[in-house]
Amino acid sequence: MAYNCLYQLDGCKGNVGSEEHSILKALGGRFKSKQICCEICNNKLGKEIDNVLTDNLKEVCVLNQIIREDGVRPVVEGITAVDGLSVDLTYEGFRLSKVATAIEKLSSKCEHIQVVGDLKRKEAVLQRFEQLKGQKAYQGAEYEGEELQESVKQVAFKRTWSFSFSKNELRSIAKTALTELARNVAPKRLRTGQFEQVIDFIKGQDNADGLVRYFKRTCIPHTEILGHLQHSTFTICLPEGGCYGIVCLFGTFAFCVKLSDSWDGPVLYKASLIDPSSEDHKIDKLDWSEHLSTLYAQQSMKLLLERGASLSVTYSSDDLARLVCASDVIKGIRFS
């Protein structure tokens, strides 16, 4: 049976079928559902809200060499500068952002032209030199040779990030929680009207103040550790207690999403864990009765939420003691 797309944005194809990740693929997510939305709505929300979240966390992904399902290795461009040259952060360390040109005047009639670029961009360096030779100011320049330069300078780089999350990013977090719920319940349950508020919030049609809140990491119910960077999602649905999703990214950024005020199904308590740096993952059906005497009991859920908490993550100097390795320098000489 084909179910309607939950989001119904402009241009919606009507039926579900698009592969929607709960934890975003760009963050190393693996779990997914095809019972949420159509391809058009998936792509629109990806550009509008998901990309904002992943851009905010891109440096965390690159520094920790997150393994993406599609094999893509993102690059953080222009993250710092060395001797006036822009530097990118990659999985292999730092590299020069782009080809740069330097002119050294040897005498009133002689100039050195230097084109500098990362080793992996040798062709771009040579191409840039040829382009310069075609310019009027550098006509007559002769190719003098190629030189390999080793840099021994440590890149100055920030070691602490303080993160804040915009409304669009919180919409993406809510979408993660709803997609995780879709993986654990029958598609018709999502279309009973109980989840209209969170769906409207994801679509950007409802401010729904307090629908997504920061969560006390110390209160996360499942303690199994796949890795210190693991992503964790929890789906908690209780008769008379409502339906909640807990999302914790990189073992650091934790949120609670109120998916619905009511729930007329059986008790549901499931956890999905994935370590994005190793691809280890696990799904657990947990025993809610173990937590009935704790803060997780129905009406006490609100006590777990924090409003306006500051979130930050710190990396040690060992993580950042990387050098700009080697660069190609193509040298030419021009006589005026």
Whole-angstrom distance, CA of residue 40 vs CA of residue 12: 6
Q: Has residue 15 been placed in a domain?
A: no
* Residue 183 sits in the same domain as residue 221: yes
For residue 211, the enclosing domain spans 162-314
Per-residue pLDDT for 163 more than 80? Answer: no
Per-residue pLDDT for 148 more than 60? Answer: no
Q: Has residue 191 been placed in a domain?
A: yes
pLDDT tens-digit readout, 276-326:
988 788 877 766 555 544 444 443 444 444 333 333 344 333 333 333 333
**Beta-strand relationship, 93-96 and 85-90:** antiparallel
pLDDT tier at 213, thresholds 50, 70, 90: confident
**Stronger pLDDT, 163 or 74, i.e. the higher one:** 74
Structural tokens at position 306: 């924090």
* Residue 226 sits in the same domain as residue 262: yes
Q: Which residues contact 150 (CB under 8 A, 6 or more apart)?
A: 325, 326
pLDDT tens-digit readout, 180-198:
999 999 999 999 999 999 9
Q: How many domains does the chain have?
A: 2
Whole-angstrom distance, CA of residue 156 vs CA of residue 113: 28
* Residue 90 sits in the same domain as residue 171: no
- 0.95 surpassed by pTM: no
* Residue 304 sits in the same domain as residue 330: no
DSSP-derived 3-state class of residue 1: coil
Angle between helices 196-203 and 167-182 (to 10 degrees): 140
Structural tokens at position 76: 């953080």
Q: Has residue 144 been placed in a domain?
A: yes
* Residue 205 sits in the same domain as residue 276: yes
